[in-house]
C-alpha cells in the first residue's frame, strides 16, 4: 500500500458516519490506497447554541473544511450537500455525490402525526423552509428554533419541551434512529432543501489523483438531479438557509423538478415545476427559477436580503 487519501469531515456523529460511508466506498474501489478520516471543527459546530436564522455567514458548516482542502491538509472533504453554497471557492469543485438517500422531511413526536397534534402544539425546527411549510399545513402550530444533534432533538420531544421536531429522513436512517420517525411528510406539502439526502465529495481543481477517485464513486443520477436543484437555487440567488426548496427526480431519460419559494413570513408561497432531458439538467433548473421569478419570487428574495441585512 503506497497511496494515502485524507478525507476531512465535521466532527458530529452524523457527519463522521456519512464520511465513513464514503471512505469505505473509496477503499473498496481502491484497495491499494490508505484512506484516513480527519475531523475538523466548523463555525457551525462552534456556534451550536445560535439559531441558524441568526447566523449571517454562508457556508458555516463547510468553510473550515474548504480551507484545509485549499491548504493541502486534506485531499477530499465530505459534506451534506444541502450545506454547500452554490458558489464554490476558486480552486475547489464538487467532483462526486453519493447515491441519494430518502430526501423527505419527517416528524418525530410522541406518536401523533402532524395532522393530529393538538391546537397550539410546539414544533422544533432549525429551518425557515420547514417552518414555513409546517405553518402552511397547520397554521395553529407554534414553530420554534432548535439546534443540536439528532439525539438531542429527540430528547427534547421525549422530555416534553416540544410536541414534535421536523428532521431529515436521511439523517435519522444513517444514524439508526429510523424507529423514532412517526411520519414521513409528503413532498407535495413538504418540499425538501436543495440537495437534501445527498452527500457531496469536494476536491481541488487540478488534483488528478483525487479526480479519478471521485469519478469512480460518483452516482450519476443523483449528480444530475442535484445539478438541476443547485442551478435552480443559484439562479434565484438564494443561500442554503433561504425559504427555497426543490427536488429533482429522474424517470427514464427525463428529469423532473419541483420548486418552491416563499416570503420570510411564510404567508405567500410560490410553487412550480419543469422537466426535460437529463442532459439539460442545469438548464431545467434555470428555467424553473425564471418561472418563479416571473410570478413574483424576486420580491420575496429582496425581502429576504433585507431580513438578513437587518435581522
Would you state the pLDDT for residue 49?
47
Residues, the chain, total? 311
All cell numbers assigned to 115: 395532522
Shared domain check, 209 and 83: yes
Residue 193 lies in a domain: no
Shared domain check, 232 and 311: yes
CB 45 within 8 A of CB 147: no
Shared domain check, 210 and 225: no
Shared domain check, 210 and 121: no
Q: Which of 28, 57, 83, 140 is catalytic?
A: 83
- Domain holding 255, by residue range, is 219-311
Shared domain check, 202 and 63: yes
Report how far residue 258's alpha carbon sits from residue 169's, in angstroms, rounded to the nearest whole number. 19
Shared domain check, 270 and 209: no
Shared domain check, 308 and 248: yes
Would you give the DSSP letter of residue 294?
A: I
Shared domain check, 64 and 7: yes
Instruction: Give the residue from 250, 251, 220, 234 showing the smallest Cα distance to 289.
Output: 234
Shared domain check, 94 and 204: yes
Q: pTM of the full predicted structure?
A: 0.92
Alpha helices, DSSP H, located in 33-127: 43-46, 63-70
Of the listed ranges 56-60, 160-164, 224-228, 296-300, the one predicted with least confidence? 56-60
Tally the domains of the chain. Answer: 3
Q: Which residues have a Cβ under 8 Å from the Cβ of 256 and sit 6 or more positions away?
A: 248, 249, 250, 273, 274, 275
59 — pLDDT class (breaks 50, 70, 90): low
Q: Is 102 a catalytic residue?
A: no
All cell numbers assigned to 267: 404567508
Tell me: pLDDT of 55 over 60: no
All cell numbers assigned to 86: 452554490
Shared domain check, 243 and 165: no
Shared domain check, 93 and 113: no
Amino acid at each position: 500500500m503506497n497511496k494515502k487519501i485524507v478525507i476531512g469531515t465535521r466532527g458530529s456523529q452524523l457527519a463522521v458516519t456519512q464520511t465513513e460511508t464514503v471512505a469505505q466506498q473509496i477503499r473498496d474501489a481502491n484497495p491499494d490506497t490508505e484512506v484516513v478520516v480527519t475531523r475538523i471543527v466548523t463555525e457551525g459546530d462552534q456556534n451550536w447554541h445560535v439559531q441558524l436564522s441568526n447566523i449571517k455567514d454562508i457556508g458555516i458548516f463547510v468553510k473550515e473544511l474548504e480551507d484545509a482542502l485549499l491548504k493541502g491538509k486534506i485531499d477530499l472533504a465530505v459534506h451534506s450537500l444541502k450545506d454547500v453554497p452554490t458558489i464554490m471557492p476558486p480552486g475547489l469543485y464538487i467532483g462526486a455525490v453519493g447515491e441519494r438517500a430518502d430526501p423527505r422531511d419527517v416528524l418525530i413526536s410522541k406518536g401523533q402525526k402532524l395532522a393530529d397534534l393538538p391546537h397550539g402544539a410546539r414544533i422544533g425546527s432549525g429551518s425557515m423552509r420547514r417552518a414555513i411549510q409546517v405553518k402552511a399545513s397547520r397554521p395553529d402550530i407554534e414553530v420554534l428554533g432548535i439546534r443540536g444533534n439528532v439525539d438531542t432533538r429527540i430528547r427534547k420531544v421525549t422530555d416534553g419541551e416540544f410536541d414534535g421536531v421536523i428532521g431529515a429522513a436521511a439523517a435519522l436512517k444513517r444514524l439508526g434512529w429510523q424507529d423514532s420517525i412517526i411520519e414521513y411528510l409528503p413532498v407535495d406539502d413538504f418540499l425538501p432543501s436543495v440537495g437534501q439526502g445527498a452527500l457531496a465529495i469536494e476536491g481541488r481543481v487540478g488534483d488528478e489523483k483525487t479526480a479519478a477517485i471521485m469519478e469512480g464513486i460518483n452516482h450519476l443520477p443523483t449528480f444530475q438531479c442535484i445539478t438541476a436543484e443547485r442551478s435552480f437555487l443559484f439562479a434565484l440567488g438564494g443561500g442554503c438557509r433561504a425559504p427555497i426548496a426543490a427536488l429533482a427526480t429522474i424517470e427514464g431519460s427525463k428529469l423532473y423538478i419541483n420548486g418552491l419559494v416563499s416570503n420570510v413570513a411564510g404567508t405567500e408561497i410560490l410553487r412550480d415545476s419543469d422537466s426535460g432531458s437529463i442532459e439539460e439538467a442545469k438548464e431545467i433548473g434555470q428555467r424553473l427559477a425564471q418561472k418563479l421569478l416571473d410570478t413574483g419570487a424576486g420580491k420575496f428574495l429582496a425581502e429576504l436580503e433585507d431580513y438578513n441585512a437587518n435581522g
